[in-house]
């Protein structure tokens, strides 16, 4: 995918202990990776800190797959 995918993948592996081979752009955060609502909130905070952005609460419900998160971050960071 791109550099942003690698950064999100690193966050999922390092901070949330998700197995590397499970992380694909199509992988669903909840159904495939087992991310719960608290972990999703952590992921949002980690992304906000890492990329110096603010993620609108209304946008969080759009984060179904890893690719959704990557696409959103690419849009708000201008990549």
* Exposure string over 9-30, b if 16+ CB within 10 A, otherwise e: bebbeeebebeeeebebebbbe
User: If you ran DSSP here, which 8-state letter would residue 23 be given?
Assistant: -
Residue 49 has a pLDDT of 96
Tell me which DSSP letter residue 69 carries.
Answer: H
Q: Hey, where are the domains in the chain?
A: 3-77
24 pLDDT above the threshold of 70: yes
SS3 47: helix
What are 37-59's pLDDT values in tens digits? Answer: 999 999 999 999 999 999 998 99
CATH number for the region 3-77 comes to 1.10.1200.10
The three-state secondary structure class of 41 is helix
Tell me how far apart the alpha carbons of residues 69 and 43 are, in angstroms, rounded to a whole number: 10
Residue that the structure tokens 């110096």 belong to: 52
């Amino acid at each position: 995918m791109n550099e942003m995918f690698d950064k999100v993948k690193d966050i999922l592996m390092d901070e949330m202990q998700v197995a590397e081979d499970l992380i694909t752009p199509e992988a669903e955060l909840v159904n495939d990776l087992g991310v719960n609502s608290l972990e999703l909130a952590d992921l949002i905070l980690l992304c906000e800190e890492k990329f110096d952005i603010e993620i609108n609460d209304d946008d969080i419900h759009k984060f179904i797959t890893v690719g959704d998160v990557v696409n959103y971050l690419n849009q708000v960071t201008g990549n």
